[in-house]
Structure 1
Amino acid sequence: MNAVLSGILILTGLGAIVWGGERYRSQFAKRDLIVGTVAGLGLIVLASAPVFYDAVGSLLNLESRVVTVSLLGNLFLLGVILYLFTVLRETQQDVAELSRNLSISGTATDARFDGGNHPIVVVMPAYNEAASIESVLSALPEQVADHPLEPVVVSDGSDDETALRAGDAGATVAEHPINQGQGGALRTGFKIAQQKDAEVVVTMDADGQHPVAELPNLVQPVLDGDADYVMGSRYRGVDRTGNGIIRKTGIRFFTWLINRLTKSGITDCTNGYRAIRGDDIGKFTLTEERFSAPELIIEARKNGLEIKEIPMVINEREAGETKKPQLGYAIGLTRTILTTWIR
């Protein structure tokens, strides 16, 4: 190796070490310090003591120094890429959390009950559901089982009049400035429900698929102490959604997978019509932004909640089209089920 190339490698290595040290000194970023130090030392050793790579190549049965350096370099590059993905994910989560907190801080969250029973809070994630949100909210009763009913609509980055119409219909409305997905919207709604001291938290869609008439059947087992987590099942009841054979097969497969992993006995893992005891919401570790249904079920099982499934009628959407992707939905559900089960 000629002197010029050696000098360039040494200077570059020193620069990487200095960068890592500066990042740690100013931001206490340990991972940046490690990346900079490892990269810098690797370049300096290559320039000043290349026989080191010959020794490593001998251990790996590699005859060429070039091959050894390329292999180690690619492994290091892969590590850096994974590190960058981790940083990106953490940044996205921080932005989402900030967005949710800002949404909640701008929302009136005081419970509206006076010395009586704690409210049943109905959380509705809504993304561009202006066409149906008013009719869904207007169908809600003022009370269920002697508990006041309080609807909370989380407008998840909607660019139509979802938030305006929900507010006009009397709901507590939180607005996400950017779309975070159903999971992110539910987490905002759950925080508001906790601030309202909810006895039971119900989640339902804003598109009219979940019949309001089923609300008493959904919440009563929780109020009676027979269950902590009640979910509806279209397969024990009536499915009017018009789902095709591919989607139905997919739902049954993912339900089977959850049952095998968690020793559950559910039949409809993607149903978003559920009732959860208010005091148990805070026990869940929720990180999933979009594919929230499996995460909630698995978290309920992990925390020892008594889960009950009841027959349910699920209707077709009142208006608009589904926001769920096809292939991406299957991949997302698989990832969510496995990561939630493992963690």
Structure 2
Amino acid sequence: MKVFVQIPCLDEESTLPLVLATIPEAIPGVDVIETLVIDDGSSDRTAAVARKLGVTHVLSHTRPLGLARSFRDGADFALAHGADVLVNTDRDNQYPQERIGDLVQPILAGEADIVVADRQTSTIEHFSPFKRRMQAFGSTVVNKAASIDLPDAASGFRAYSAASLMRLNIVTDFSYCMETIIQAGHKSIASIPIVTNEKTRESRLFSSIWQHIAKSASAIIRSFIMFKPHAFFGLLGTVLLLLGLIPFVRFLVLAAMGDGAGHVQSLIFGSALLVGALFSYALLIIADLQRTNRVLMEETLEQVRILRFGQGGTSHDDVRGS
């Protein structure tokens, strides 16, 4: 049983040693633990520091490609090197690496495909009350979209079985956290509570909480439309249909009372809403066809990965561009 611990990094030469120092050297039920640093085009000595500290593998991007791309490349690299479980942790030492053993146990026991650490965001002191509420709201939305029950869906400290990674297809550029949970909602997902470490620096994923909300909302909506188009366009079309019938009913009632003249605007407004409903249902049909094609493509992707990663690789360093 081989566990890969991957750390996506961008200019983290100062915090990377803190992360590596607390990664466990042995885990019950695990034969091999290997570390992987994905250097996302850092301008500092992140890659050199990683090698100096004995990181097993260093995967380098020639320029910054984003967290989602770093995760995807790291997952492919781990699969190619025979990983049975992939653990993703943050580079700013936010997460307690000593809990990696607890994080992978549900997968080793066959109880889950994915395990997400619950940061218990309501207790994190450096989170503002507003940020705590938004974290809770975001998790609620993702849980509804994926039909699961995770207390902290935005947590980046998580473990994946090799089987769960084979079919995972990430298309967003901002963050993989929300998308992978919505996409993998049909799989077995577990959660364990953790206590985060003290804050080492401000987040570099976004410049303000509002930018974070906007990008997260965009990722959630996009994933929701991709994976559950019936719930989105079906609901939208039904709402527009019901609203569009109200002006027609109003016009008919007024006409029956002999006061229909002068209320043609109700018919115009109702017709516009009904056209909107028609477009929504048309988009539903198109999105459903795309969903069917995506499922077939993901099944093909899974088979390709099984063929590609069956033998694994041997190189310890890799450099990739765009």
Judge conservation of contact 2:114–2:159 (CA < 8 Å) in 1: yes
Which position in structure 2 is the counterpart of 1:308? 190
Partner of residue 234 from structure 1, selected from 115, 119, 124:
119
Which position in structure 2 is the counterpart of 1:323? 204
Q: TM-score, normalising length from structure 1?
A: 0.62
Q: Is it true that 1:338 corresponds to 2:238 in the alignment?
A: no
SS at match of 2:76: helix
Structure-2 separation of matches of 1:340 and 1:284: 13
Residue correspondence of structure 1 range 263-282 to structure 2 within 5 A: 263-282=147-166
The letter of the residue matching 1:136 is V
Residue correspondence of structure 1 range 1-343 to structure 2 within 5 A: 117=1, 119-145=2-28, 146-171=30-55, 172-235=57-120, 239-240=123-124, 242-301=126-185, 304-318=186-200, 320-325=201-206, 326=208, 327-343=210-226
Alignment root-mean-square deviation, CA: 1.6
Structure-2 separation of matches of 1:292 and 1:266: 16
SS at match of 2:166: helix
Structure-2 separation of matches of 1:213 and 1:140: 6
| Inter-CA distance 135–315: structure 2 relative to 1 (3 Å threshold) | closer
Please give the per-residue CA displacement for 1:72-94, whole angstroms capped at 9, x wherever unaligned: xxxxxxxxxxxxxxxxxxxxxxx
Structure-1 separation of matches of 2:100 and 2:14: 22
Structure 1: tracts of 5 or more residues without a match: 1-116
The letter of the residue matching 2:8 is P
The structural deviation recorded for 1:273 is 0.4
Structure-1 separation of matches of 2:125 and 2:172: 25
| Inter-CA distance 129–317: structure 2 relative to 1 (3 Å threshold) | farther
SS at match of 2:211: helix
Judge conservation of contact 1:240–1:316 (CA < 8 Å) in 2: no
Structure 2: tracts of 5 or more residues without a match: 227-322
> In terms of Rg, which structure is larger?
1
Higher relative contact order (CA closer than 8 Å, sequence separation 6+): 2
| Inter-CA distance 305–241: structure 2 relative to 1 (3 Å threshold) | farther
Please give the per-residue CA displacement for 1:210-237, whole angstroms capped at 9, x wherever unaligned: 112211110000000011110010228x
| Inter-CA distance 168–241: structure 2 relative to 1 (3 Å threshold) | farther
Count of matched residue pairs: 222
The letter of the residue matching 2:204 is K
Which position in structure 1 is the counterpart of 2:234? none
Judge conservation of contact 2:113–2:163 (CA < 8 Å) in 1: no
SS at match of 2:8: strand
Structure-2 separation of matches of 1:168 and 1:241: 34
Structure-2 separation of matches of 1:240 and 1:290: 24
The structural deviation recorded for 1:317 is 3.1
Structure-1 separation of matches of 2:38 and 2:167: 21
The letter of the residue matching 1:294 is M
Q: TM-score, normalising length from structure 2?
A: 0.66
Work out the percentage of aligned pairs sharing the same amino acid.
27
Structure-2 separation of matches of 1:317 and 1:173: 25
| Inter-CA distance 192–185: structure 2 relative to 1 (3 Å threshold) | same
Judge conservation of contact 1:240–1:315 (CA < 8 Å) in 2: no
